[in-house]
Every structure is written in C-alpha cells, then in structure tokens.
Copies of this chain bind each other. A is one copy, B any other.
Amino acid sequence: MEGDAGRGLECQRTMDGRESNGNKTSNAVVIPSCCLKAMASQPELEAKCHSTVVSGWFSEPQSSSGEAHSLKVENILFKEKSKYQEVLVFQSAAYGKVLVLDGIVQLTEKDECAYQEMIAHLPLCSIKSPKNVLVVGGGDGGVLREISRHSSVELIDICEIDQMVIDVSRKFFPELAIGFDDPRVHLHVGDAIEFLRHAPEGKYDAVIVDSSDPVGPAQELVEKPFFDTIARALRPGGVLCNMAESWWLHTHLIQDMLSICHEVFKGSVRYAWTNVPTYPSGVIGFILCSTEGPPVDFVHPINPIEKLEDALIYRRELGVYNSEIHEAAFALPSFVKREVEALR
C-alpha cells in the first residue's frame, strides 16, 4: 500500500502527455488514413473485429456506431471467454491496466477511483452507521475496497456471477481486489436474483448494484422483479445504489429505471452522476432509492466521510469523493430535468 498518497498525482502525470512537450498538436494522430479508408469502404471489416484488441489498439463504440473511443494497447495480459462473457485485460498507454467485458470498458487503473468511490459512498454516507451491506456484481473488488472505509459495517456480502472476473482482478488489479481481503467480506459466486430471493427479509442496510451494462448476464438487473427482491431484502429506510448509465446517451433507459424504482421504493428516489473519462460521454449515473421507513435525504450526507475514523484505511486517499462532490452529484442539467419525467 506504500505510496498511495501520491496516486492522484501519478495518475495525472501519466495522462498529461500532451502538456509535457508544450504542444498538444504535436502528438501523432492515432488513426492513419489507410484505416479510415478501409472503414469507409469495407463495412464487413467492421463486423469482423467487434470488441477486440487488434495489433495495438482497442476501440469501443460509444453512443452509436458514429463514435468511438480508442486506447493504445501496450500489452494484452488476458483474454478468455468465461461462461458468461468475454473477459479482456490489457495494459494501455494512457490509463494503466484496463478491464473489458464483452467489448465494454469496465474500469481502468487511472480513473477507477471516480466510479468505485461514488457508487459506494453515495449510499453509505446517506445513512447512519450502515452494518449489513450487499454488493451485486462488483467482482473486481473495487466497491468492497471502498465499503471497507466504513468501520460501522459488520458484514459485506458480495454476489458476483462470474468467477473469472474475480480471478482476473486478483491477478491483474491487486489495488481493487484488495477489497476481498477484508474479513467482513463474504463472497457468493452465483446469480444475484437467486441470492436475493433466499436472503432474509430486511437484512441489509444498503445494497449496491455494480453490474455491467444491461445486456448479456446483467439484462435482468434493470427489470422490476429484481428491484422487488432488493426492496424486500432491505430494512425499512434501507438504501439501494444502482449503476445507471449516462444522461447524454441513455435518457430513456434512465427514465424507465426511475419509473420502476418509484413504483417499488416508497422512500426517496434520486438520480446522481459523476465524470469518468473512459466511460461513454464521460458520464456515469447512479439511481439511489430508499425503502419506506426512516426518511433518507440522499443529497446531504448524514454520515460524512470526512468524519469516518477509518476512511483512510490502508492509508489510501480518496481520489474523487468528498462531501461536496456528493452533494454536487445530484445537480442535473436542465434538459435532463425536462426530459426525465420522474426527476421533476
């Protein structure tokens, strides 16, 4: 854990390539003309190289096939098909190691702090003394690492469907997988819906859904029955934090999820967001809900991280999260407020 205090700095410097030579336009452009020509003239080539690392570059289509974000690959570290999805790990030139599931960037070493911290602390800092927490997905361990900062927590259940994600994280992302080493963590490899069905009613103070995008194994995780089982497993006034896409790209999906949550959760339902450079549009959102019971004011953290004694466990500084960022995460663009009825 040595040297973690300088993590933000290291992160910044690594990404600062175009400052260091004083002229950002002097860097080579990434996609040469022959490639672009091929893309335009041979659409069948596009189909063939879906979601793969090819000769030094990984490319993820963004909001539509009209946009892409590309990372230069220094080294492919792992690529295999699990029972559920394609798992890829590579060393990138700009963002450190990168984990990709089914062609979609899940995390990079350089900006993972933003996502992991927000999805964990938005819910846990919104209630007093959380004790029992369930993580759905999150097999990389990063969310567990963040939950560890809360000394009030006694039990952390995690239900991840894909053992390969856990193994790969332990091997290539020790800074995230360290989350599994907390003795409060109980790992369950399996289907989260099954797990939740057998969970005692009212067991959890908080449930955190750190799933991949709602396609493939995670498809069911945006449907009403799933939210029903979560609500059942939460205590009165318990909280859910669910990954919820970008308002630039997925307004309709967000609207649908919010409508379901308003039906299921009789406490508060709120939407928050943060910036993650390697996610599409640079934005990732979170839906926060509470069950009927003691009211929860998500916007003003009742359990501020700055007052937690063990928040800097393992001497690990927070990268992005703080109480100001927490409150700011709930400020939404005007067009989002107009479009997403459930936010009005």
Residues of A within 8 A of B (CB): 7-9, 11-12, 15-19, 23-25, 27-43, 45-52, 54-57, 59-72, 92-95, 102-104, 111, 113-114, 213, 215-216, 247-253, 275-277, 280-283, 317-322, 324-325, 327-339
Instruction: For the complex formed, measure the closest distance between the CB of A140 and the CB atoms of chain B, giving whole angstroms.
Output: 20
Among residues of B, the one whose C-beta sits closest to the C-beta of A273 is: B275
Query: What are 24 A-B contacts defined by CB distance under 8 Å?
Result: A8-B334, A8-B336, A9-B339, A16-B64, A17-B64, A27-B65, A28-B47, A29-B50, A29-B60, A30-B68, A31-B54, A33-B45, A35-B35, A41-B55, A63-B277, A69-B69, A248-B277, A277-B281, A277-B283, A320-B333, A320-B334, A324-B332, A328-B330, A328-B331
Which of B19, B114, B253 interacts with A250 by CB under 8 Å? Answer: B19
B-side contacts of A35, CB under 8 Å = 31-32, 34-36, 38-39
Instruction: Give A276 to B102 CA distance when docked, in angstroms.
Output: 26
Complex interface: chain B residues within 8 A of A215 (CB) = 23-25
Beyond A113-B335, A328-B331: 12 further Cβ-contacts under 8 Å? A17-B66, A25-B104, A25-B215, A28-B46, A29-B46, A31-B49, A34-B34, A34-B45, A37-B54, A69-B70, A114-B333, A276-B282
B64 lies within 8 A of A49 (CB): no
Residues of B within 8 A of A216 (CB): 25
List, in ascending order, chain B residues with CB within 8 A of A37's CB: 54-56
Which residues does chain B contribute within 8 Å of A68, judged by CB atoms? Answer: 29-31, 69-70
How many copies of the shown chain assemble into the complex? Answer: 2
Query: Given A12-B251, A33-B49, A317-B335, does the pair A66, B40 have CB atoms closer than 8 Å?
Result: no
CB distance from A65 to the nearest CB of B (A): 4
Shortest C-beta distance, A313 to chain B (Å), equals 15
A94 touches B70 (CB 8 A): no
Known: A46-B32, A57-B40. A111 touches B27 (CB 8 A): no
Residues of B within 8 A of A328 (CB): 327-331
The chain B residue sitting closest to A22, CB to CB, is B215
Interchain CB contact under 8 A, B31 and A39 = yes
Chain B residues with CB under 8 A of A43: 28
**A331-B325 contact in complex given A19-B249, A71-B66, A111-B248, C-beta closer than 8 Å:** yes
Inter-chain contact B338/A30, CB cutoff 8 Å: no
B residues in contact with A334, CB < 8 Å: 8, 317-322, 325
CB distance from A23 to the nearest CB of B (A): 5
Q: Which residues of B contact A49 (CB under 8 A)?
A: 29, 31-33, 36
Contacts of A333 in B (CB 8 A): 114, 319-322, 325
Bound together, the chains give a CA A317 to CA B31 distance in angstroms of 38
State whether B15 touches A64 (Cβ < 8 A). yes
